[in-house]
Structure 1
Amino acid sequence: MKKTLLATAIAGAMGLSAASAQAATVYNQDGTKLDLYGNIQLAYYSVDAGIGGNVDEIADNGSTIGVAGEHVINPGLVGYFKAEWEHDADEEKTAGGINTGDQAYLGLRGDFGDVRLGSYDALIDDWIQDPITNNEFFDVSDSSTEANLVGVGGINEGDKVTYTSPVFGGFQFALGTQYKGEAEAENVTDSGNASFFAGARYTVGAFSIAAVYDDLDNFADAFQNNGNFGEQYGVTAQYTIDSLRLAAKVEHFDSDFVDADVDLYALSARYGYGMGDVYGAYQYVDNEAEADERNEVVLGATYNISDAMYTFVEGAVRDRDHDEGDGVAVGVTYLF
C-alpha cells in the first residue's frame, strides 16, 4: 500500500468497500461528513544492493494517517478535501512522529465532473502504472523511475489542478496542469511555468483501456535548466474475469536530450483466491540512457487475517548488473 490507502487486498477478497475497510466516520450531519483513516505498515526486506551486497531491515512500509471530508453545497454539487501524513512506525520514538506529508487537496464534484486542486499522485501513475503493479513493497519500473522523475522533492505531485469529466457512455477524460511560479525554488524556468497533462479512458463491460500524456514541462536534466526535459505517455488495458484481473501496458519516456528514451512493455495478473490475492507481473525495459535492456519479474501474495489486517510476501528479480534490486519482503498491515 505504498501509493494509496485503498484496501484492495481485503476489500476484494471479502466483498467490502475500501472505505468500510479503513475509515471511521467521526461526523456526519446536515450534509457534512468527516472521516478519519490510516494504517500501520511494517515489513522485513532483504534486497541486493549490487556490488555492495545484500541489505536488510525491519522498516516502515508507508504508514499513514489521513482525514477526508465533504459537504453538500447544493443538490448536485459537493465540496471535499483530503489530507494524509506519513510516519515511521519502525522507529517512531526517534523518527519525529508524523514527519512528512503524503498528499493534500480540495475540490468540487457534481454532474459537471470533478475539479481538484493541491498535491496528489500524477495522472499517469493512477491510470497507467498502478493497474500493473501497485503492490506492497516491490513494483516493476515505470517511465517516472527510469527517467529519475521520482524523489526530486516530489515536484511531480504538487501545485496541480485537474478536471475529470463525468462518464459518457463508458468514456471519460481528464485535463490538468502543474503551475510553478517564479517564487518556487524548484522552478526550472526564468518565469512562471504551467505544464500540461491529459488522459482518456473507455470502459465497456469487464474491459477498460486508458491513455495518458504529460509534457513534463517543469523538469530539467542535469545539463539544461530550461524545462526541456521530455515527454511521458502510456496506454494500459485491463480485463476482469470473475476474481482474475489481467492488465497490459505500453509506456514511453521521450527524452529531449540525446539517447535517453525509455520504453516499457508489461503484463500483470491478480487473482483473489478468497482470503487474499496472488499476483505477478512481467516487464521488458529498454533504457537508452543506461544502454540497458532487461526483464523484470515481481511475484507476491497476501493473506487476510481479518477485515482490517493482512500479511504479504513478495519477491522481485530486476535483471540488473550484480543482481541489483533483486529481493524478497514480508510484512503486515493494519488498516483503520
Structure 2
Amino acid sequence: MNTIKLSLVAAALSTVFLPALAADVEIYGRAHLSLDSLDNGVDSGTNVSSNSSRLGFRAKTELDGGLEAFAQIEQNIRFDEGAGSWASRDSFVGIRGDFGTVRLGQFDTPLKSIRGKVDMFGDRVGDIRNLTRTSTAGNTNANIGNVFDERFKNGVHYQTPKFGNFVFDIHYTPHNTEGATVDNVRESYSMALSYEVSGFYAAIAYETFEGQNDLDPNALRLGAYYDVTSDFRVSGMFQSASDIPGGDRNVYGLGASYKLGDYILRSQYYVAAENDVADSAASMLVVGADRRLGKDLTLYVAYGITSNEDAAAFRVSAGGRDTQMAAIAGENSSGLSLGIQYNF
C-alpha cells in the first residue's frame, strides 16, 4: 500500500510543555467498488456498491525507554453515493514496547480478525459474514445478538509480544454502545491465541457479550490457512455460537486460492448448520478470479449463491458491503459481481 509520510514538528508544544517531539504521519486509503447483479429469489436488480472503502490517518512517535506512541483514525467512505462517517472504522490511541501493546478506542475484536485472515472473499459477494452475522428468518437484525464480526465501542485491548510465534490478545469493553453507563450494560469480552509463521496461520478465539432479551451470545471460533505451495493456499474456519436467537448454531467451511501469473483463482464453500428451528440451515458457494494490475490495483469477478432451507434467510451480498439485498426465507440468494479495488 502506498503511503504519504509527513514529518510534523510540534513546535508550539515543545516550547511550552515538552522537548522537541516529532511524529510520523501516514495517510492511506482504499477505493473498492463493484457492479453487482443481485437476486434474492423473488426480486433482482443491478447496483453499484462501495465495499469497505476507507480513508485513514496513522501517527506514531518514538518515546524514551524504547516505547512508541501511536494513533489511528479511519472512516468508511461511500464512493458509490458520495457519503461517509468520520472515525467509523478502527480508530484508537495506544502505546507499545517490550511489554506488548495497549490501545483504547473502537476497533475489530480478536475474533473478527480471524475471519479477516482466512476469508477468500472478504468485503465481496460471498463474504463469510453472510452466515456468521445472521440467524433464522425474522432474526436478521444485527442488534439482537447473533453478531460476531463487529467492532467493540469503548474498547481496551492488550496484545502480548510474540513468544515462539504465538501471540495472545484480550479485548474488553465495559459498555459496547454510545454514551455513559452506570450499570455496564452490553459489557463485552473477546480473546484469541494465534500462531503464525511464513505460509501458515492458526488461531482460536472466544467472544461473549451481554445481549438483549436475556441472551448473552458467545462464540468459539477457529481459523487457519496453509500455503501448500507458493501459489496454492487452503483456508478454513469453524464457529460454534451459543445463546443466540433460534438456538445454538455452527458455521464451518473451506476455501482455496491459486495464483496463475497475474491472476488469482479463488473459491470457498461454507455451511450454516440447522439450529433449534427446523429447516433453518443454509450453504454458500462462491467462485471468482482476480487480475492484478500492479501491486495496488485489482480487478475481479465473483459469483456466489446462498441456498436457504425453508426457515433460513441468509444473504450472499452482506459482509463489508454498503449495498446489500435482503434475503427471503426459503429462497436462494445469488450475486454476480465485477469489482475494482485500489489501495493508496
Q: TM-score, normalised by structure 2?
A: 0.78
**Amino acid corresponding to residue 224 of structure 2 in structure 1:** A
Change (3 A) 1:334 1:293: same
**Contact 2:225-2:235 at 8 Å conserved across structures:** yes
C-alpha distance in 2 between matches for 1:131 and 1:117: 26
The root-mean-square deviation of aligned C-alpha atoms, in Å, is 2.9
Counterparts of 2:170 and 2:85 in 1: how far apart (Å)?
33
For 1:165 and 1:308, the matched residues in 2 are separated by 31
- Corresponding residue of 2:300: 312
The aligned residue for residue 135 of structure 1 is 122
Task: Write out aligned runs for 1:182-331 (5 A).
Answer: 184=179, 191-193=183-185, 194-203=187-196, 206-217=199-210, 219-220=211-212, 224=213, 226=214, 228-240=215-227, 241-255=229-243, 259-288=246-275, 290-291=277-278, 292-320=280-308, 323-331=331-339
1:60 matches 2:50: yes
Letter in 2 for 1:214: E
Matched, 1:27 2:7: yes
Question: Are 2:30 and 1:39 equivalent residues in the alignment?
Answer: yes
> In percent, how many aligned pairs have the same letter?
21
After TM superposition, the structure 1 = structure 2 runs for residues 144-163 of structure 1, keeping only pairs within 5 Å, are 144-146=133-135, 150=142, 156-163=151-158
Aligned residue runs from structure 1 range 98-109, under 5 A: 101-109=88-96
- Mapped to 2, the partners of 1:290 and 1:22 lie a distance apart of 49
Closer, same or farther: CA 182–31 of 1 in aligned 2, 3 Å: closer
- 1:307 aligns to what SS in structure 2? coil
Q: Distance in 1 between matches of 2:287 and 2:177?
A: 45
- For 2:327, the equivalent position in structure 1 comes to none
CA shift at 1:316, angstroms? 0.7
8 Å CA contact 2:192, 2:205 repeated in 1? yes
* SS of equivalent residue, structure 1 residue 126: helix
Q: Displacement, 1:319?
A: 0.7
Deviation at 1:262, TM superposition (A): 1.2
Using the TM superposition, give the Cα deviation of residue 24 of structure 1 relative to its aligned residue in structure 2, in angstroms: 1.6
Preserved contact between residue 143 and residue 232 of structure 1 (Cα < 8 Å): no
In 2, the alpha carbon distance for the partners of 1:116 and 1:134 equals 29
1:71 counterpart = 2:61:
yes
Per-residue deviation at 1:290? 5.0
Quote the Cα distance in structure 1 between the aligned partners of 2:169 and 2:141: 21
Report what 1:14 is aligned to: none
Q: Which digits, 9 at most, give the CA deviation of each residue in 1:180-231, with x for residues without a partner?
A: 189738x7xx7124322211112356333210001122x22xxx2x5x3221
Q: Which residue of 2 aligns with 1:180?
A: 175
Q: Which runs of 5+ in 1 are unaligned?
A: 1-20
| 103-112 or 314-323, which deviates more | 314-323
Contact 2:56/2:74 (<8 A) preserved = yes
Q: Following TM superposition, by how much is the alpha carbon of 1:164 offset from its aligned partner in structure 2, in angstroms?
A: 0.9
Q: What letter matches 1:110 in structure 2?
A: G
* Contact 2:176–2:188 (CA under 8 A) maintained in structure 1: no
Deviations 1:233-289 (A, max 9, x none): 1111221131222112111111166x4211011111123333242211111211415
Q: Relative to 1, partners in 2 of residues 1:142 and 1:43: Cα closer, same or farther, differing over 3 Å? A: same
- Residue from 158, 164, 170 that aligns with 2:159: 164
Counterpart Cα distance in 2 of 1:128 and 1:149? 21
Q: Aligned equivalents of 2:296 and 2:343: distance in 1?
A: 5
**Are residues 1:123 and 2:75 paired?**
no
Deviations 1:38-61 (A, max 9, x none): 12222111111233x212212322
Q: Residue 196 of structure 2: SS of its match in structure 1?
A: strand
Structure-2 separation of matches of 1:155 and 1:91: 23
Aligned to 1:48: 39
- Tell me which residue corresponds to 1:15: none
Larger mean Cα displacement after TM superposition, 26-35 or 124-133: 26-35
CA shift in 2, pair 1:180/1:131, >3 Å: same
Taking structure 1 as the reference length, the TM-score comes to 0.79
Q: 1:90, CA displacement in angstroms?
A: 2.2
1:91, distance to aligned residue in structure 2 (A): 2.9
CA distance in 2, matches of 1:324, 1:100: 35
> Do residues 86 (structure 1) and 76 (structure 2) align?
yes
Displacement of 1:299 in angstroms is 1.4
Evaluate the alpha carbon distance shift between residue 168 and residue 177 of structure 1 in structure 2; reply closer, same or farther with a 3 A threshold.
Answer: same
Secondary structure at the aligned position of 1:133 is classed as coil
Which residues of structure 2 form unaligned runs of 5+?
10-20, 310-329
